[in-house]
Structure 1
Amino acid sequence: MIPYWFMLSLPLLAVFSPVKTEKDLSFFAILSFGVLAVFFIGTRHEVGGDWYSYLHHYELVINASFIDAMKSSDPGYAFLNWWMAELDFGIYGVNLVCGAIFMAGLITFSRTMPLPWLAILVAVPYLYTVVAMGYSRQAVAIGFELLALCALVRLATVKFFLFVFCAALFHKTAVLLALLGVFFSPNSRLSPLRIVTGILVAAFVMVMFLQDYYETLLLNYVERTMHSDGGQIRVLMNALPGLIFLLLYRQWIRRFGKQQPWLVFALASLACIPLVSLASTAVDRIALYLLPIQLYVWSHFPLIFRNPMYRYAALLAIVGVYVAVLWVWLNFGNQAQTWLPYQSVFFL
């Protein structure tokens, strides 16, 4: 458990550090954390719920032709496995690249937040420890999603769709994110026409991407009603910041300006609550793409209060909750044993 607690302790110390560093030094500190995080992700050995599944993917492409290799998984992940096999870097090379993409997204996104270290701290217990350490394809997709959100806020629409496309190359379900780019504009309200247009465009893109295996998705995630352990809790972890954002929306606008994409995230997070009981695995997979709302809301929330004592109390509460999340998951999570103990290829 020590490596997981160590990675949480670094942003924890930074959040409460009384020392104010210069911008360049702060960037160096966050970058150093990112490099260390990538090292832990990339060099892990037999860690994560899908370790053997990903290892099997890699073994399939060894000595396979490029065409055959590209048929083994989603295009981006298949190509990465083929490339690493050609270089003989092993599954560790695959995980290292996946970790680098994920952390690039997390660091870039966090640095746009008013409390970047708090955003990173919020990400560590689940997004980093569970997703990035255990589910490589989803982690890469979320890394690209975070980069896409940064582009969207800057109104860099082409970059947004490019990052969404890259995310979909690693996990096709990421095409859902295209919906944001269709009708988002920070200077205008959402109209029914734009919402309908966005839904139609997203549906078209989904059909184009998922037509080859949508029946499998429907069968596995919905018709068989696969159960995702802890899905309700993870949905609630998105819904709580979503609810707070909606309740404080007027104050949020006055304090931080229009936050239209996060309004969509908040509404979607709340919509997942009744749906998770119908198809827990399907909703849980979709909820992964809503995880950024936790980073966004909690890294802004303390600044809503003008009173320093209230700010500090809010900060303590957020930190306390996410420390508890990591402790509970490591000690009582149904799948936690596949993450424990942490092993590195360098220390076998």
Structure 2
Amino acid sequence: MIYVAITIGLFLLRYSVLGYPQLNRQLYPIILTFLFLFSGFRFEVGCDWTGYLNQYEIAGGITAGQAIQSREPIWWLLLWLQRFLDLPYPWINVMSSLVCFAGIHVLARRQPDPLGFLVLLFPVLLINMPMTAMRQGAAIGLICAAMTRFMDGRLLGFLFWVALAASFHSSAAIFFLLAPLVSRKITGVRILGAVLLAVPGLVFLMAGEAGQTATQWYIDGDRDSFGAIFRIALLSLSSLFFFLLLRKIWKREFPEDYQIVTLGGVGMLLAGVLLPTSTIIADRLSYYLIPVQTMIFARIPWMQTLSARPVLAAAPYLGLLVFFAVWAMGSSHFQQCYIPYQSWIFGAP
């Protein structure tokens, strides 16, 4: 299967440049471009292909003003502009993938191992988001950019990128709850305070139009996400791994992004709390945390004082490969959504 083959190839490529950081950074833009083309120029691939096609058709009957007044204005403006320019439907996937990968690049270039960070995103995040959930894929990319503003202590920049992400997918608005923690030292008391503030914040978000729609579709309805349990379990294990083995080393060796990773680790644990309410909502929100999980995985080889570093560094690659191979070859949902892979990169749709 092409997806498993690409995953193996990417992981082997990362292994082949071990110990060559300059080559790592030289190969990174090549792989970034390849993955963007693989995602952005897919044709009739992805679980939501027909769903977004319906939105494309709807956009043909709205005005720019109506697009701006929608719940997710930038997304609908893009659709409106596409119809105005008379571009075929698949171009919206190119545009949304471009936003997603541009945001990921902003975060990846801050990593000591950008290639490792990128290839570890492929089996779960890149397959599930820009290749099937265009709006949220774009929003996740913009949240990656917001994370870098958080690291730099720039509140206005953080708020800007979160607002832009929410204009693609309203679920990204939950990151506004982190605003009080920008430029402040993370402590146990402040994390507890952020969690307590999140409760009324979530109530407020759920009371809005987007929250009511989510409630009707994902809680009151009978929709479910079987894979959410496994993805969130992987996030929870990653969080425990960070707090039990890596946290003190990270704080000492990488203080510049210690705060965002700590908050992300807490979020990974809290994602499981939402599972009994709605597996789909828990799953959708958990995807925003995968870049933090990937930062943890990709940073292990660079932790100088970590015991058994070679073994621990290899574990995420082997674990994700097994996880992805089982899902790709054993899931009927995957077979229906992603196979066969088709691209229109060499021909017009």
TM-score by length of 1: 0.88
Asked if the contact 1:245–1:297 (Cα under 8 Å) also holds between the matched residues in 2, the reply is: yes
Aligned match of 1:154 in 142, 152, 161? 152
1: CA distance, partners of 2:224 / 2:196: 33
Cα deviation 1:96-123 (Å, max 9, x = unaligned): 1111111112222122222222211210
The amino acid across from 1:32 in the alignment is I
Q: Tell me which residue corresponds to 1:10.
A: 10
Tell me if the contact between 2:32 and 2:118 (Cα under 8 Å) persists in the aligned partners: no
CA distance in 2, matches of 1:75, 1:30: 33
After superposition, the Cα gap between the structure-2 partners of 1:222 and 1:313, relative to the gap in structure 1 and judged at 3 Å, is same
Seen in structure 2, the aligned counterparts of structure 1 residues 273 and 196 have a Cα distance that, compared at 3 Å, is closer
Distance 1:293 1:342 in 2: 28
Give the deviation of 1:186 after TM superposition: 4.9
Equivalent in 213, 230, 241 of residue 238 of structure 2: 241
Q: CA deviation at 1:245?
A: 1.2
- Distance between the aligned counterparts of 1:77 and 1:125, measured in 2? 25
| Structure 1 residue 44: Cα displacement | 0.8
Deviations 1:121-158 (A, max 9, x none): 21000111121211101100100010100111011221
Within 5 A, what are the aligned runs for 1:90-169? 90-169=88-167
Deviation of residue 205 (structure 1)? Answer: 7.1
Residue 214 (structure 2) pairs with residue 217 (structure 1): yes
Deviations 1:78-103 (A, max 9, x none): 11111112222222221111111111
From the superposition, tell whether residues 156 and 226 of structure 1 become closer, same or farther in structure 2 (CA, over 3 Å).
Answer: same
CA distance in 1, matches of 2:209, 2:184: 36
Between the aligned partners of 1:117 and 1:229, the Cα distance in structure 2 is 30
Q: Which structure 2 segments of 5+ residues have no match? A: none
Distance 2:195 2:125 in 1: 31
- Worse-matched range after superposition: 190-199 or 313-322: 190-199
Aligned residue number for residue 344 of structure 1? 343
Listed as ranges, the matches of 1:145-294 within 5 Å are 145-187=143-185, 189=187, 191=189, 195=194, 198-199=197-198, 202-203=201-202, 206=205, 211-224=208-221, 226-248=223-245, 249-257=247-255, 259-294=258-293
The range that moved more, 177-186 or 65-74, is 65-74
Give yes or no for contact 2:224–2:279 (8 Å, CA) kept in 1.
yes
1:128 corresponds to which letter in structure 2? L
Could you tell me how far 1:224 is from its partner in structure 2? 2.9
C-alpha displacement of 1:52: 0.3
Describe the superposition over 1:42-81 as per-residue Cα deviations: whole angstroms up to 9, x where unpaired.
2111100000001111122225432455577721211111
Write the letter of the residue equivalent to 2:185: N
Partner of 2:20: 20
Q: How many corresponding residue pairs?
A: 343
Deviations 1:296-316 (A, max 9, x none): 1111223346479x3222222
Partners of 2:194 and 2:298 lie apart in 1 by 28
Structure 2 matches for 1:4-83, cutoff 5 A? 5-6=5-6, 9-10=9-10, 12-18=12-18, 20=20, 22=22, 26-62=24-60, 64-69=62-67, 74-83=72-81
Separation in 2, partners of 1:215, 1:107: 33
- Whichever residue aligns with residue 198 of structure 2, its letter is I
| Larger displacement relative to structure 2 (192-201 or 59-68) | 192-201
Identity %: 25
Residue of structure 2 equivalent to 1:302: 301
Partner amino acid, structure 1, of 2:17: S
How far apart, CA to CA, are the structure 1 residues paired with 2:195 and 2:286?
A: 22
Task: Call closer, same or farther: CA 1:142–1:323 in 2, change over 3 Å.
Answer: same
| TM-score of the pair, normalised by structure 2 | 0.88
Q: 1:19 to 1:235 in 2, by over 3 A?
A: closer
SS of corresponding position for 1:134: coil
**Cα distance change, pair 90–275 in 1 and its aligned pair in 2 (3 A):** same
The code of the aligned residue for 1:242 comes to: S
CA contact (8 A) 1:221 1:279 kept: yes
8 Å contact from structure 2 (residues 177, 201) kept in 1: yes
Distance 2:315 2:198 in 1: 37
Q: CA RMSD in A?
A: 2.8
- Between the aligned partners of 1:265 and 1:211, the Cα distance in structure 2 is 25
The structure-2 alpha-carbon separation of the partners of 1:339 and 1:217, relative to structure 1 and needing over 3 Å to count, comes to same
Q: Which amino acid aligns with 2:2?
A: I
